[in-house]
Structure 1
Amino acid sequence: MAITKPKSATTKKVVSAFPARRSEPVPMRLFIRDLVLSARIGVHQHERVANQRIRLNLELEVEADGPINDELENTVCYGELMTGIRHVVGNGHVNLVETLCERIADMCFADRRVLNAKVRIEKLDVFPEALSVGIEVERRRPGH
């Protein structure tokens, strides 16, 4: 005896939650929030001889080369960014917070996928009546 499909049965179309590919690359935002480090920074004599606490926030606009495919090498690695930031901050005395912001932004642009960098650095222990003082810079890769 042969089994036949009833005439009232309909074929269902399955829509995947995971599209086969993106139509065009979409910039992503990568961020590091509230990273507190010890830095040699400042123009005053007492700032030249003692480290002080800074808080760093970083936001990058990143364009993927293609599909991420769940592979680390297809991303901008925030672990590598953390290592780079620690190196820049720990690389000797800097007079100005602005200079440190620029150096960190420059470090981020070493990866060609970074289109935009926003760096915010706050000195945490400057004035007892203020939680922090600081600078935020935003830089865009030329041509983007």
Structure 2
Amino acid sequence: MPTTDPRPDGERAKSEVLSQRILIRDLTLSCSIGVSEEERARRQRLRINIELTVDYPPPSRDNINEVVNYGSLAKAVRNHCLDTTFRLLETLAEELSEVCFGFDPVSETRVRIEKLDRYADIGGIGVEIARRRSDR
């Protein structure tokens, strides 16, 4: 059956922005992390997922200067993980949240980190945190 569009040609549906999110999915890095020295001595594979809520309207001019640069964000996250040694996933998650808050439009963060090779019978074991900016 043919469908008919109730809107006149070219007219957009009226709506309002509820929120905008930026996602980093399945970033996989080998990092120095672990409670024991033995664990920290060998790098471990981590899978990192980050979801950010940003406070700005949709870009009006299709211009990168109106949004968070995804490449800069991913580089900041990657560098922090690779340049630092951690004991706890919880500490790394908190610090990555702070890295993300370094991008001014970010108002909320959700960071999930999993160790991929810690247990042979578990695909990933880890932590997830959520934080909201409180300085506004």
TM normalised by structure 1 equals 0.80
Q: Which aligned segments of 4 or more residues in structure 1 are displaced greater than 2 angstroms?
A: 13-19, 65-68
In 1, the alpha carbon distance for the partners of 2:60 and 2:49 equals: 25
Q: Alpha-carbon deviations, 1:60-101, whole Å to 9, x = none?
A: 011115644200011112111110011110122100101110
Q: How many Å apart are 1:17 and its aligned residue?
A: 3.3
1:99 is aligned to 2:91: yes
Q: How many Å apart are 1:27 and its aligned residue?
A: 2.3
3-state SS in 1 of match to 2:108: strand
Is the contact between residue 41 and residue 51 of structure 1 (CA under 8 Å) also seen in structure 2? yes
1:109 is aligned to 2:88: no
Unaligned segments of structure 1, at least 5 residues = 1-12
In 1, the alpha carbon distance for the partners of 2:98 and 2:90 equals: 12
3-state SS in 2 of match to 1:90: helix
Q: Alpha-carbon deviations, 1:12-56, whole Å to 9, x = none?
A: x7654398xx87x64201101111111000112221211010000
1:74 is aligned to 2:66: yes
| RMSD across aligned positions (CA) | 2.2
Count residues with an aligned counterpart.
129
3-state SS in 1 of match to 2:83: coil
**Matching residue of 2:79:** 87
Q: Which amino acid aligns with 1:93?
A: T
1:51 is aligned to 2:43: yes
Decide which structure has the larger Cα Rg and report it: 1
**Matching residue of 1:9:** none
Is the contact between residue 26 and residue 64 of structure 1 (CA under 8 Å) also seen in structure 2? no
Q: Which amino acid aligns with 1:50?
A: R
Identity %: 36
